[in-house]
Amino acid sequence: MHGLTASLKRPGTRRAVAALAGLTLVMTPLLSGCGSSTSSSAPASEPAAAATAAAPASEAAAPAADVTGKVVKLVHCGDVNPWCAVYNKTVIDMLTAEGVQVEYLQNPFDPALQVQQLQSSIAAKPDLILLLPTDDKSLVPSMQQAKAAGVPIIYNNSHPDPAALDTVVSVVNADQAALGRFAAQNCVEGMQAAGVTKGNIIALTGSDYTATSNDRITAFIEELSKTPEYQLVSNQNANWDPALTGKLASQLFAQYANKGGIQCAYGMADYQANAIVQAAQQAGLPVGVKDKGLIVTGSNCFKVGIDNVKAGTMYGTATQAPDTEGKALAEWALKFLRGETIPAENLTTEFRVTADNLADHEAECTKA
């Protein structure tokens, strides 16, 4: 989606990881005294690399409008996924702290269920729907219905199918292409450091049905094309599932054992990259630059990924930490609920993470 773009600083606030039970949860507002600052204050700055935030509104203006009693439907991926669990909790905590009533409708990457949830949300006519897609295309008819009914949608962690571009008030997204480029750079740099002059690469991705994964893998392939000595030999949909990722990795290690082997593997989330590390170790393969073994990279950071980078079993990852992204979404949602005009597109600036700059990102990247 093309529009104005605002980058957000990385927050320094600490977010606890907690799973929310059930498919539909209603969050009652936490009134004054919850300890949360109002959304009109800028996020805390990250030392060193963070980009300057484009504050969504004037900070010196009149007091922000009260959003107490506003109703938001959160139609998102479910807490069965570790990234989603932290992301959703961050959003819910920030909105309810301002008095917003949040109904959380979660799904385990089930497109049919999400369509049902979106349709029921539209029928309820909330003040806002926050929609994180499981399948961009399957949501188009319902999103068109929302527009016709006057129900606003903020699309997040992806961008809409072209047929639904005019149905959303805003998109809040990570720079997915940057995450894909960083993963390719990690692969190439890691293989070069290990003395590999020609190599086979595999990618085990998130869901093929969203722009989230597709934007990353497209950028990954484009970046790899700069070094044709390193070839992507298999790109498979692992649906953000670490168990499936490990199974596919094991199969590919066996498949390419007599075809030059696999020199680098990209697990789109750090917990997927970790599953690849475990599969390689179980197969008796050396892992990491020090052992001149398999190079592994992720592209959104978790504690397990940071620990692996420290141990040398992952060469690198990237940011897109779930609480950082959740804080950005909640801030823009609160601006909208207060009646402020927000940009059509809001991208969070992301950063490549390796052993060389681990100290700059460890705090942010170990919240989940």
CA end-to-end span of the chain, whole Å? Answer: 29
Specify the pLDDT at position 185.
98
| pLDDT for the residue numbered 367 | 84
pTM exceeds cut of 0.85: no
Rounded to an integer, the average pLDDT of 218-234 is: 98
Compute CA distances 169 → 149, 203, 267, whole Å. 14, 33, 32
pLDDT band for position 4 (cuts 50, 70, 90):
very low
The model's confidence at residue 62, banded by pLDDT at 50, 70 and 90, is low
Q: Let me know if 51 is exposed, middle or buried by CB neighbors in 10 A (0-12, 13-18, 19+).
A: middle
Which domains does the chain show, CATH number per domain? 24-168+322-350 (3.40.50.2300), 177-318 (3.40.50.2300)
What pLDDT was estimated at residue 63? 72
Query: Do the beta carbons of residue 131 and residue 154 sit within 8 Å?
Result: yes
pLDDT 10s digits, 43-53: 333 333 333 33
pLDDT value for 18: 31
What residues pair up with 171 in beta bridges, in sequence order?
A: 155, 345
Tell me the residue type at 248. Answer: L
Q: What is the pLDDT of residues 113-149, one digit of tens each?
A: 999 999 999 999 999 999 999 999 999 999 999 999 9
Report yes or no: 200 and 260 within 8 Å, Cβ to Cβ: yes
